[in-house]
């Protein structure tokens, strides 16, 4: 049996399927990491990672027979891909299969923040409707949606948003060729001309804190910020401050810097929609992500090319 090291929590159906064919060593929260690695490290040929927990360079370099890291996520910022590729270790992720669900949540946030759905629900449940009417929301038709990172997920949100009558524009570090949407050279310029700013770019060090106070001020007091990507892309203290001071209108957030901790100020704000990193959390998508992790490992250990490798990082 091939030995795998599991560094991230995984759904039970995937774990059971893998355990039937591989020897899976639990390294999610090891009591004595060194002892376990001394015992099994040299036998490990694969790592099972996730979007929030992946191997760092130390771990990758300690496993001399490591061949593959399979991540149960589309985002691979938790894994040191540069260190893996430097050693010729393959890294796989789960693109495409979760795009629709993540885009659906982003669209839901756009509607929830502008139409004040969460606040309206709390208004009704708390009995306030018996004393008066709920305040008005904002129409989304005709508003400008700025998308930061027009990749697979960004494009899927754009298609949905077009059906709701939103105007789409974007900022991306890569030239994206012929698209029906206007591109802005900087994030600040995009925010300046957006009513809603959606964060769907990659996480990782290069994008840490790029949605900063200047970007939030460019979005302005009538603007909504939506994040379904990674928490650290937003300068979180700057976001909290902008919300407290009314310098932006509201936010829809599925991810947080330091999650599952969430800044206390956000918990009591009416104009903020908060979900616990659920963008890909459907039975169907989690099953498809698990199947892809399994299929990537199967392909690799059968001597075939993996299905969804992470692009080469140097
Ligand atoms: C998962 C994610 O919740 O795919 C990603 O990048 O962040 C989510 O789909 C997470 O990766 C589970 O490990």
Ligand 1 centre to CA of 96 (Å) is 13
Query: Is pLDDT of 314 > 80?
Result: no
Strand partners of residue 234: 211
Interval 126-152: pLDDT, tens: 999 999 999 999 999 999 999 999 999
What number is the average pLDDT over the span 174-195? 94
What is the three-state SS of 109-172?
HHHHHHHCHHHHHHHHHCCHHHCCCCCCCCCCCCCEEEEECCCHHHHHHHHHHHHCCCEEEEEC
Please tell me whether the peptide bond between 260 and the residue prior to it is cis, using omega within 30 degrees of 0: yes
Residue with CA nearest ligand 1 atom 8: 73
Smallest Cα–Cα separation from 308: which of 149, 164, 97, 13? 97
Q: What is the pLDDT of residues 104-128, one digit of tens each?
A: 999 999 999 999 999 999 999 999 9
What share of the chain has pLDDT > 70, as a percent? Answer: 100
Cβ–ligand 1 distance for 241 under 6 Å, the answer no
* Residue 39 falls in the annotated catalytic set: no
Mean pLDDT of 64-75: 98
Quick check: pTM over 0.75? yes
Residue 223 has a pLDDT of 98
Q: Which one of 43, 45, 247, 277 is the catalytic residue? A: 277
> 176 falls in which pLDDT band (50, 70, 90)?
confident
Average pLDDT, integer, range 36-57 = 97
Residues 309 and 296: their CA atoms lie apart, in Å, by 8
Query: How would you class 96 by CB atoms within 10 Å of its CB: exposed for 0-12, middle for 13-18, buried for 19 or more?
Result: exposed
- Is pLDDT above 80 for 175? no
For residue 174, the model assigns a pLDDT of: 83
Report helix, strand and coil shares of the chain as percent, to nearest 5: 40, 20, 45
Provide mean pLDDT across the span 205-219.
Answer: 97
Q: Is 76 in the pocket of ligand 1 (CB under 6 A)?
A: no
Amino acid 82: pLDDT = 97
| Least confident segment among 80-94, 163-177, 202-216, 227-241 | 163-177
The partner residues of 46 in beta bridges, in order of sequence, read: 4, 68
Which of 179, 178, 113, 200 shows the shortest CA–CA distance to 187?
200
Q: Report the phi/psi class of residue 283: left, alpha or beta, with left for phi > 0 and alpha for psi in -120 to 50.
A: alpha
Q: For residue 177, name the pLDDT band (cuts at 50, 70, 90).
A: confident
Tell me the pLDDT tens digit for each residue of 272-305: 999 999 999 999 999 999 999 999 999 999 999 9
Residue 36 corresponds to which tokens in the numbers above? 């376990």
Ligand 1 centroid distance, CA of 134 (Å): 36
What φ, ψ does residue 288 adopt, rounded to 5°? Answer: -65, -40
CA of 135 to the centre of ligand 1 (A): 36
Give helix 99-115 / helix 283-301 axis angle, nearest 10°.
Answer: 150
Assigned token pair, 83: 């260190």
Ligand 1: which residue has its CA nearest to atom 5?
A: 73
CB 276 within 8 A of CB 255: no
Q: What is the pLDDT of residue 84?
A: 98
pLDDT score recorded for residue 313: 82
Domains for the chain: give ranges and CATH numbers: 3-96+284-301 (3.40.50.720), 99-274 (3.40.50.720)
């Amino acid at each position: 049996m091939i030995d795998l090291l599991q560094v991230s929590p995984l759904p039970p159906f995937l774990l059971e399927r893998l355990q039937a064919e591989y020897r899976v060593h639990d390294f999610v929260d090891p009591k004595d990491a060194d002892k376990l690695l001394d015992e099994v490290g040299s036998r490990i040929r694969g790592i099972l990672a996730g979007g929030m927990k992946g191997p760092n360079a130390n771990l990758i370099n300690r496993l001399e027979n490591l061949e593959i890291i399979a991540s149960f996520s589309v985002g691979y910022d938790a894994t040191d891909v540069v260190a893996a590729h430097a050693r010729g270790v393959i890294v796989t992720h789960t693109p495409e299969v979760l795009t629709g669900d993540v885009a659906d949540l982003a669209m839901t946030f756009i509607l929830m923040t502008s139409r004040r759905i969460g606040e309206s629900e709390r208004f009704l449940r708390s009995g306030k409707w018996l004393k008066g009417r709920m305040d008005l929301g904002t129409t989304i038709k005709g508003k400008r949606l700025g998308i930061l990172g027009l990749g697979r997920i960004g494009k899927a949100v754009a298609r949905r948003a077009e059906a709701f009558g939103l105007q789409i524009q974007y900022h991306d570090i890569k030239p994206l060729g012929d698209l029906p949407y206007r591109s802005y050279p900087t994030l600040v310029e995009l925010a300046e001309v957006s009513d809603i700013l959606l964060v769907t770019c990659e996480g990782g060090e290069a994008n840490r804190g790029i949605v900063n106070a200047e970007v939030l001020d460019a979005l302005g007091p009538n603007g909504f910020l939506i994040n379904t990507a990674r928490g650290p892309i937003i300068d979180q203290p700057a976001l909290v401050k902008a919300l407290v001071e009314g310098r932006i209108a509201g936010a829809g957030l599925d991810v947080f810097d330091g999650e599952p901790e969430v800044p206390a100020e956000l918990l009591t704000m009416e104009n903020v929609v908060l979900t616990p990193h659920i963008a890909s959390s459907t039975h169907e998508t989690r099953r498809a992500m698990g199947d892809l992790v399994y299929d990537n490992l199967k392909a690799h250990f059968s001597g075939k090319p993996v299905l969804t490798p992470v692009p080469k990082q140097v």
